[in-house]
Amino acid sequence: MKVGVLALQGASAQHAAMLARLGAQPVAVRSVADLATVDALVLPGGESTTMSMLLESSGLFEPLAERLAGGMPAFGTCAGMILLGHEILDGRSDQRCFDAIDISVRRNAFGRQVDSFEADLAVAGVEAAPVHAVFIRAPVVESVGEDVDVLATVGRRPVLCRQGPVLVAAFHPELGDDPRLHELFLEEVV
């Protein structure tokens, strides 16, 4: 299966490596032609304001919005989660999102002092051992619609959510050596 990794900006290489390790064929997506070749898409972490701008200037925004509306499976991590959500709080005024999952997301909201932290998460459906999660200037999910399943939380905050073919994580599952969330995506969501 060809799984695209949006490669306009941000941490795409580690996602591609995880996908390859699991037997999928990763494709770096930078153009409309690239997008047309893939069955599913990972939107990586990075800077969502920059990605939003580059999605517009590359002409990818509308075709990607159409694929998502058509049910293409997608996995958004950190900035990628911000892009897939319904509403961005504390975004830039010209920043856009795809409304592919019914969540409101506040950027950089885990606190300015501590920009990054790590946590061991109990993840619904990934039972054997907790998932070690790295949060880097992470967004907070402030509200979820009723069709959204919350698969993991930090305190009361949802950090891993799913709605149909769309999976989002506030953290960076591509860092480290644990492929279980990419596996969850490929086996349960795609």
- H/E stretch holding 52 reads helix 48-57
Residue 136 is a binding residue for ligand GLN (CB under 6 A): yes
Total number of residues that touch ligand GLN (CB under 6 A): 11
Within 8 A by CB and 6+ apart from 154, the residues are 119, 121, 135
**Crossing angle, helix 48-57 and helix 61-69, to 10 degrees?**
100
Active site residue 172: yes
Active site residue 174: yes
Q: In the bound complex, what is the minimum distance in angstroms from residue 115's beta carbon to ligand GLN?
A: 9
Choice between 72 and 79, CB closer to ligand GLN: 79
Q: Which of residues 41-80 bind ligand GLN (CB under 6 A)?
A: 45-48, 78-79
Q: In the bound complex, what is the minimum distance in angstroms from residue 108's beta carbon to ligand GLN?
A: 5
Q: In the bound complex, what is the minimum distance in angstroms from residue 180's beta carbon to ligand GLN?
A: 20
Distance between CA atoms of residues 107 and 140, nearest Å: 7
Residue tagged active-site, from 15, 86, 172, 182: 172
What are the CB-based long-range contacts (under 8 Å, 24+) for 18-25? Answer: 18/173, 18/174, 18/179, 18/182, 19/182, 19/186, 21/179, 22/179, 22/182, 22/183, 22/186, 24/186, 25/1
Residue 15 is a binding residue for ligand GLN (CB under 6 A): no
Choice between 40 and 43, CB closer to ligand GLN: 43
Active site residue 182: no
Binding mask 85-124 for ligand GLN (x = CB under 6 A): ----------------------xx----------------
Binding site for ligand GLN (CB under 6 A): 45-48, 78-79, 82, 107-108, 136-137
The catalytic site residues sit at 78, 172, 174
